């Protein structure tokens, strides 16, 4: 929760990847709060009051995931909404002739997106979701301490750079609305 709040303010893409990880962490712990308290929350160096706040946060996520039927796969609607907003912003930026740097960065990573889609069976997943899914998969491989080729790491570095630009545009877009 503490990390999520910080990431939400700083970088929406990192927040979304983090929340996907939290969803999977909840699934891996079989939606069992006692296990989550023991394995996850107990590792935080914080006060009892903060531990309780974090516990309530996990409980509310568990409740939402069960209510929304995403116990086995998928994401909470609020996470899907952020993904949809990022996708819409991407489309808006691609339609804008003023966004030359964004276009250049996008066209640089487009071959990686095409390659990722081909590898996943030619899925028609939106491009931003493809990028996020690739980065998430890489994070999971790192957690499992599995090797990733230098070529793949370079491609992921470019995807991350692109998504960083998109996250910055997202934040600027929110600031301009306020």
How buried is 15 (Cβ within 10 angstroms: 0-12 exposed, 13-18 middle, 19+ buried)?
Answer: buried
Which of 41, 68, 95 corresponds to the end of one domain? 68
- As given in the structure block, the two tokens for residue 73 are 């796969």
Domain boundary (68, 97, 120) is at 68
* Structure confidence by residue, pLDDT tens digits, 103-157: 999 999 999 999 988 887 767 789 999 999 999 999 999 999 999 999 999 999 9
Segments forming the whole domain that contains residue 163? 77-177
Which tens digits make up the pLDDT trace of 137-147?
Answer: 999 999 999 99
How sure is the predictor about 176, in pLDDT bands with cuts at 50, 70 and 90? Answer: confident
Distance CA 156, CA 148 (A): 10
- Token pair 């962490």: residue: 25
What total number of domains does the chain contain? 2
Res 178: pLDDT: 61
Question: Do both 61 and 125 map to the same domain?
Answer: no
Asked whether the beta carbons of 94 and 72 are under 8 A apart, the reply is no
pLDDT score recorded for residue 118: 87
Which residues have C-beta within 8 Å of that of residue 169, sequence separation ≥ 6?
89, 93, 102
Instruction: Quote the Cα angle for 128-130-132, to 5°.
Output: 70
55 shares its domain with 109: no
In a shared domain, residues 38 and 105:
no
Final residue in a domain of this structure, among 42, 68, 94 = 68
CA dihedral for 101, 124, 174, 135, sign (positive or negative): negative
* pTM exceeding 0.75: yes
pLDDT (0 to 100) of residue 122: 64
Residue range 48-55: mean pLDDT, rounded: 94
Pair 4, 44: CB distance under 8 Å: no
Task: Take residue 59 and report the two structure tokens written for it.
Answer: 């409980």
More confident residue, 31 or 1: 31
Tell me whether residue 103 is exposed, middle or buried, using C-beta atoms within 10 angstroms of its C-beta: 0 to 12, 13 to 18, 19 or more. Answer: middle
Residue 55: Cβ-neighbour burial (10 angstroms; 0-12, 13-18, 19+): middle
């Amino acid at each position: 929760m503490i990390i999520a709040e910080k990431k939400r303010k700083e970088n929406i893409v990192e927040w979304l990847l983090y929340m996907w990880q939290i969803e999977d962490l909840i699934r891996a712990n079989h939606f069992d709060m006692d296990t989550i308290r023991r394995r996850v929350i107990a590792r935080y160096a914080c006060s009892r009051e903060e531990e309780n706040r974090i516990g309530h946060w996990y409980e509310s996520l568990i409740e939402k995931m069960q209510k929304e039927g995403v116990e086995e796969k998928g994401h909470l609607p609020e996470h899907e909404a952020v993904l949809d907003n990022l996708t819409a912003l991407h489309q808006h930026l691609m339609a804008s002739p003023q966004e030359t740097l964004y276009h250049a960065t996008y066209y640089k990573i487009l071959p990686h997106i095409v390659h990722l889609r081909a590898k996943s069976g030619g899925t028609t997943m939106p491009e931003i979701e493809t990028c996020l899914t690739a980065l998430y998969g890489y994070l999971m491989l790192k957690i499992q301490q599995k090797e990733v080729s230098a070529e793949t790491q370079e491609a992921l570095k470019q995807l991350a750079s692109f998504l960083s630009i998109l996250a910055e545009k997202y934040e600027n877009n929110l600031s301009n609305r306020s």
